[in-house]
Structure 1
């Protein structure tokens, strides 16, 4: 097993804005918050487009990149979704979720479709809890 160079897992959060434009954001604050039914929580600053999109659509995807795409995920930190299409900029493909109004990333080996069920304000962030409605993975 190779060492990734990251201390925590990297999650890419997929959302749509009010016009249906896909957006992706790098997040490291995430965890399983319940196993039955399955829920996951992510924490995001209020100043981001992703924060607004999750509240508007009440949905998000959590995508886990493979080692192949680590460099592209780093670009998601520096690219601003207000000014640029992040998917085009870094060469990834958004795919419309089947069960939620949010895109997942075709090239990544794991994607969770989540329906927003709870929000909690914690300091500078909002913790979004989503019920996992579907999991998609690429078998290797």
Structure 2
């Protein structure tokens, strides 16, 4: 397939799209949409998030040194879009949209009741980059809806109807997995194990 070359740009797609809640020193809560966010470390659990300095939440997070990353669903897509285009400097989005908040466990900033998964984060650092600054966030606690967890303790994210962001549009995620981590070599390992077991049986005889 022939390729078309573009200048260097942020063409990494799709990406998660989340709603971030933050609170200032006067206990005013704001929520805004973020599409530039990713996991960058497992232990300690660290997320990287790009935020424009002119955003109201930029100062809220910088002041309080905390925020909550709220995962979003198909039912929340209109809220996601609204909170991405309307500034908290002009309107109280929490009040206007009638958003219900849920108290945090490890920090003072609340999460969104409607969000199925909320990650309570502590700010580790801010690094100026250009149009956006890089926020490194340590995840202190994660709240997950009970109906996403089975009796073995496994979290079924596919039940949450999560959405993603791709080149200016929102997309629902497919609920049927194409495979799971390590599946590409699983058959080889299974075949090798069966062969070893067969050889052991022969040896015993």
Do they fold alike, i.e. is TM over 0.5? yes
- Structure with the bigger percentage of strand: 1
Q: Which residue of 1 aligns with 2:20?
A: 13
* Equivalent of 1:89 in 82, 92, 96: 96
Aligned length: 135
Q: Which runs of 5+ in 1 are unaligned?
A: 1-5
Q: What is the Cα deviation at residue 21 of structure 1? A: 0.9
Which of structure 1's runs of 4+ aligned residues deviate more than 3 A? Answer: none
Cα RMSD over matched residues? 1.4
1:1-140 alignment runs, 5 A limit: 7-138=14-145, 139-140=147-148
1:92 Cα deviation after fit: 1.7
Paired residue secondary structure (1:36)? coil
Looking at both structures, which has the greater relative contact order when contacts are Cα pairs under 8 Å and sequence separation is at least 6?
1
More helix by percentage:
2
Q: For structure 1, which segment, 49-58 or 82-91, has the greater mean C-alpha deviation from structure 2 after superposition?
A: 82-91
**Alpha-carbon distance in 1 for matches of 2:84, 2:43:** 33
- State the distance in 2 between where 1:103 and 1:127 align: 22
Paired with 2:23 and 2:103, the residues of 1 have a C-alpha distance of 9
Structure with bigger gyration radius: 2
Question: Counterpart of 1:116 in 2: which secondary structure?
Answer: strand
CA distance in 2 between partners of 1:77 and 1:66 (Å): 15
Unaligned runs of 5+ in 2: 1-12, 149-205
